[in-house]
């Protein structure tokens, strides 16, 4: 297994990086050994929230993508809502899953995620992040995986 590392104090864009046989490419922003926003990891584009867990994320036309959220601190039983701006239609279907959570499940709450609504006229949809724990607050960064399917509404 070969690895190529980029280690630079100067931000770089539009680079291909191979680290531990994972290829990062596309419109990556790289500072030092950190790979930041809009990177494609093995074919899945990754987007990051800019300032808070309620900040809108602007996604490209990619059908499969990841969203790296800002740290979530929902109290027990509390939801946070944010929008993802992406071209969608009345026949758009999205699946969402929690890909990673930096907190410890139970100790740092129990994160949940679902799509609340799809608004084709505004070109966005709402994601709800919840905390299913009875008493412990969330305390960590969530990475979500989303997949967009275009098609009919019939089963």
Q: Which two tokens stand for residue 140?
A: 């960590």
pLDDT of residue 64: 84
Q: Say which residues have a Cβ less than 8 Å from residue 111's Cβ, sequence separation at least 6.
A: 72, 74, 98, 101, 103, 129, 130, 131, 132, 138, 140, 142
Q: Could you give the C-alpha distances from 54 to 4, 50, 82, 106, in angstroms and in order?
A: 35, 10, 5, 23
- Whether the predicted pLDDT of 21 surpasses 80: no
Q: 88 and 64, same structural domain?
A: yes
pLDDT of residue 72: 92
Query: What are the tens digits of pLDDT across the range 22-61?
Result: 444 444 444 444 444 444 445 568 888 888 899 899 887 6
Q: 21 and 77, same structural domain?
A: no
36, 8 contact by CB (below 8 A): no
> Is this structure's pTM higher than 0.85?
no
Q: 71 and 57, same structural domain?
A: yes
Evaluate whether residue 155 is within a structural domain: no
Q: 84 and 54, same structural domain?
A: yes
Domain with residue 98: its CATH number is 2.60.40
- Domains held by the chain: number: 2
Evaluate whether residue 88 is within a structural domain: yes
Would you place residue 151 in the very low, low, confident or very high pLDDT band (cuts 50, 70, 90)?
Answer: low
Query: What are the tens digits of pLDDT across the range 106-141?
Result: 999 999 999 998 888 888 899 999 999 999 999 999
What is the spatial distance between Cα 57 and Cα 48, in angstroms, rounded to a whole number?
Answer: 7
């Amino acid at each position: 297994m070969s690895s190529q590392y980029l280690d630079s104090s100067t931000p770089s864009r539009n680079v291909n990086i191979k680290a531990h046989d994972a290829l990062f490419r596309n419109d990556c922003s790289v500072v030092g050994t950190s790979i930041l926003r809009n990177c494609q990891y093995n074919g899945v584009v990754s987007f990051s929230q800019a300032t808070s867990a309620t900040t809108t994320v602007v996604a490209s036309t990619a059908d499969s993508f990841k969203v790296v959220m800002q740290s979530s601190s929902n109290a027990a039983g509390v939801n946070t809502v944010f929008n993802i701006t992406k071209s969608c239609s009345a026949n758009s279907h999205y699946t969402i899953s929690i890909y990673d959570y930096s907190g410890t499940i139970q100790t740092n709450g129990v994160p949940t995620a679902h799509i609340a609504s799809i608004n084709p006229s505004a070109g966005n949809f709402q994601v709800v992040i919840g905390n299913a724990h009875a008493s412990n607050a969330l305390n960590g960064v969530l990475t979500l995986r989303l997949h967009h399917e275009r098609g009919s509404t019939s089963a």
